[in-house]
Amino acid sequence: MTDQPRDWEAFGLSASCEGILPFHHPLTRRYVASLAESSRAARSPRRHLLLLVDGLEALAADPEIRTDMFWLLENGPLNSIWPIVAVTTPRTSALAEWLKPFRTVLCGRNSGVPSQLEAGKPAFDGSRTLTSGAQFALLTGDEWLPFWVPEPL
């Protein structure tokens, strides 16, 4: 799910991709509602689903999807629906409630802009020195563990 579907078109060609869904669209709302409903009823198929959300702040602002999406963030992993979200750094403080369900938090740089979670999480002092697209930090408890993305062999 994204505000910029064109940025994700190449991924839509994968056999593993169910689709690229734009925010604030009736199809997206129905999709999230159906995921939440089947998850609540424990009727989720025995498959694992990665639910990628590019820009949680835009989705959180949609009043018609809020309840189901928040429920999926909190309970989806119990039913093999794994939400992975991207958040624009300056907006994290407004999303504090939405970020609470996440137990794994990464900090990185995208397009040269430091990305750091501020809403209720300890600050990562090294965010400005991370190499864009290759170096990240993982929040483990109250400490950040820096790492590099391995290069293909």
Domain span including residue 8: 1-102
Tokens of 35: 């995921």
Q: Is the same domain home to 20 and 85?
A: yes
pLDDT at 152: 60
Q: Is the same domain home to 76 and 114?
A: no
- Compute φ and ψ for 103, nearest 5 degrees: -95, -20
Q: Is the same domain home to 8 and 78?
A: yes
Tokens of 105: 């938090």
Instruction: Tell me which residues of the chain have a pLDDT lower than 70.
Output: 43-46, 89-92, 107-129, 131-133, 151-153
Partners of 52 in beta bridges: 84
Q: Is the same domain home to 80 and 123?
A: no
- Compute φ and ψ for 70, nearest 5 degrees: -65, -40
pLDDT at 113: 46
Q: Is the same domain home to 114 and 84?
A: no
Identify whether the C-beta of residue 57 lies closer than 8 Å to the C-beta of residue 36: no
Q: Is the same domain home to 82 and 131?
A: no
Task: Write down which residue in 83, 102, 121 finishes a domain.
Answer: 102
E strand residue ranges, 30-148: 49-54, 81-86, 106-107, 109-110, 113-114, 135-140, 143-148
